Structure 1
Amino acid sequence: MACLPTVPPALALRKWLGLGLFLLLCLSLGYALEKKVVKSKVGEKVGLPCCHEIPSSESLHNYRVYWQKNTTEVVLAYAEGKKISKHERYENRTEMNTTNLTLWISPVEILDNGPYQCVVQHLRFSQNSVVVCDEPVTLFVTADFSKPNITAEVVNTSCESTEMVVKCSSHGGFPKPKISGALNNVSMLWNASWVSESSLSPYNVTGELWLNVTKDISITCTVEYDGFAKSTSLLLKKTNDCVVPTVPPSYNVITASSIIIIIFLLAITLAARYLPRHVCSHCCKPQDSVEEGVKECMKPPVSSKVTSETSSV
């Protein structure tokens, strides 16, 4: 049986201490990185923390403080307790705390989005300056989007389905959003498009979808941006059940019906015209004169009894 080599206690302790220090360093870096990001909305007041705080035994007169954006644009600068520089875009919107050197911006604009840097120099008696700290902080600005608006346009309809173009739109927000949706709580994708004048301008977003609606369904549109979300739902209704149209009679049917009606009318006309003559003909016979015919017709009938008596006489 082989023996495992033993590790000296001092070496093992040093190893565990090194691992513990490494973990503490990672945690501290993570905490520092978390502190370096500040979030704010358009129109709010936000404070960007500096990497140095002036001790109570000293004052701002012993320091030079530079707040700059993107390392090229000086937002605010102090030297020996006096303001020496201020950017015109931040005029009447910025101020600095003279103790913890926090930069306050109010009201926040979309153009304020980006990295900032606080540079602090300590003035010695020999007038030489020493950089005390120089660390960045990022301001992440958001602007609320409008509530999504859903519209549906019927393109084609039949007894089985209704074809629609559905659009969802929202505007005026920042940063660039995501747009998602659901049909009866089942996820679906929009054909999305975005419009913005620049990378630091409000966004307008529009989603489009073609649907064949065979029954009433609910559609939801959601706009997401920097952890925020706004949603709207709309009930899409299928068109009413189709009504079968009445089929017009064919040409042959119309022709036959017309012929039957014409024959019927001619029969009535002929009957009305010739029927009186036939009725008169069986009671009256034509005579040489009109008067004799009338008298003959007006004679009362002679009974058979009288005729027999006359014959015997």
Structure 2
Amino acid sequence: WGMPVLVCYALEKKVVKSKVGEKVGLPCCHEIPSSESLHSYRVYWQKNTTEVVLAYADGKMISKHEQYVNRTEMDARNLTLWISPVEILDNGSYQCIVQHRRLLQNSVVVCDESVTLFVTADFSKPNVTADVLADSCESTEMVVRCSSYGGFPKPKLSGALDNESTAWNDSWVSESSLRAYNVTGKLWLNVTKDISFTCSVEYNGFAESTSLLLKKTKECVVPTVPPSYNVITASSIIIITFLLAITLAARYLPRHGKYSSFFKKQSLTAYGVSMQNTHL
């Protein structure tokens, strides 16, 4: 085959997305014409420019990485690299290099192009819990926790109170670029009324959310304010005076009956005069 002659192509970088467990095809930049066969080509599929995934020469596989055994195959016509099932470790940049053997000439590189595979693993539905730390008539102090696990790539954790974004007091994400992530967040709150809290885990354009109603646990009845001392005193004096007046009146009037007779006589006289004037 001899030394290859590199030919550079300014091509747009390709991006392919897949989830863990799926089957994905990584396209190559060359398709073998129907008039030719794989026997006239040498094909390399590399990862991160250093790790050979698989290689073909003279129509036969000459190399395959142990990580991809029983999980990869290549289309003999369009040279697509198929991976199934996809794993988190498959995330990364791949390169397809195609050499063509020509008669009486050295092999020529007819294709050299990269394609990036973004692997996604779904996070678990967030688990949200709330523990009461202190309680009073005015508010309920509590700590809210949200956790999710088993996802990829590295997530962003967000929280909202009645759809208003809120910042976490403390959050933690496991540090790993080659395995699933775990994420946890904590939030300390003083709840003065029932309010809805939502925790969301966002990753590579996907999101998982869980909501929990946070309740103010203690309701206090406001006692009736008793009347002041001055009001009580004034009311008591008025009542006592009224009762005393009635008592004195009841005792005084019977002893002075003449006044009653006098008033009665005056009333009859006035009545007689009125009657006489009426007859006239």
TM over 0.5: yes
Distance (Å, rounded) in 2 between the aligned partners of 1:71 and 1:241: 66
What do you get for the CA RMSD once the two structures are aligned?
A: 1.6
Distance (Å, rounded) in 1 between the aligned partners of 2:162 and 2:118: 35
Give per-residue Cα distances to partners, 1:218-274, cap 9 Å, x unaligned: 000011000001110000111132479xxxxxxxxxxxxxxxxxxxxxxxxxxxxxx
SS at match of 1:32: coil
Corresponding position of 2:174: 195
Consecutive unaligned residues of structure 1, counting only runs of 5 or more, are 1-28, 245-313
Of 70, 86, 97, which residue of structure 1 is paired with 2:48? 70
Greater percentage in helix: 1
Distance (Å, rounded) in 1 between the aligned partners of 2:66 and 2:183: 32
Distance (Å, rounded) in 2 between the aligned partners of 1:126 and 1:204: 58
Deviation at 1:90, TM superposition (A): 0.2
TM norm structure 1: 0.66
Structure with the greater alpha carbon radius of gyration: 1
4+ runs deviating over 2 angstroms = none
Q: Which amino acid aligns with 1:120?
A: V
Distance (Å, rounded) in 2 between the aligned partners of 1:53 and 1:187: 50
SS at match of 1:89: helix
Of 101, 118, 124, which residue of structure 2 is paired with 1:140? 118
Distance (Å, rounded) in 1 between the aligned partners of 2:194 and 2:119: 40
| CA pair 105-111 structure 1, distance change in 2 beyond 3 A | same
Q: Which amino acid aligns with 1:54?
A: I
Corresponding position of 2:146: 168
The size of the alignment, in residue pairs, is 213
Corresponding position of 1:116: 94
The 8 Å contact of residues 135 and 218 in structure 2, kept in 1 or not, is answered as no
SS at match of 2:12: helix
1:222 aligns with 2:184: no
Corresponding position of 2:12: 32
Of 190, 195, 213, which residue of structure 2 is paired with 1:212? 190
Give per-residue Cα distances to partners, 1:102-150, cap 9 Å, x unaligned: 0000000000000000000001123621101111111010100000010
Determine which structure has greater relative contact order: mean sequence separation of CA pairs < 8 Å that are 6+ residues apart, divided by chain length.
Answer: 2
Q: Give the share of equivalent positions with the same residue, in percent.
A: 79
Stretch moving more, 200-209 or 98-107 = 200-209
The 8 Å contact of residues 140 and 218 in structure 2, kept in 1 or not, is answered as no
The 8 Å contact of residues 136 and 218 in structure 2, kept in 1 or not, is answered as no
Distance (Å, rounded) in 2 between the aligned partners of 1:189 and 1:55: 58
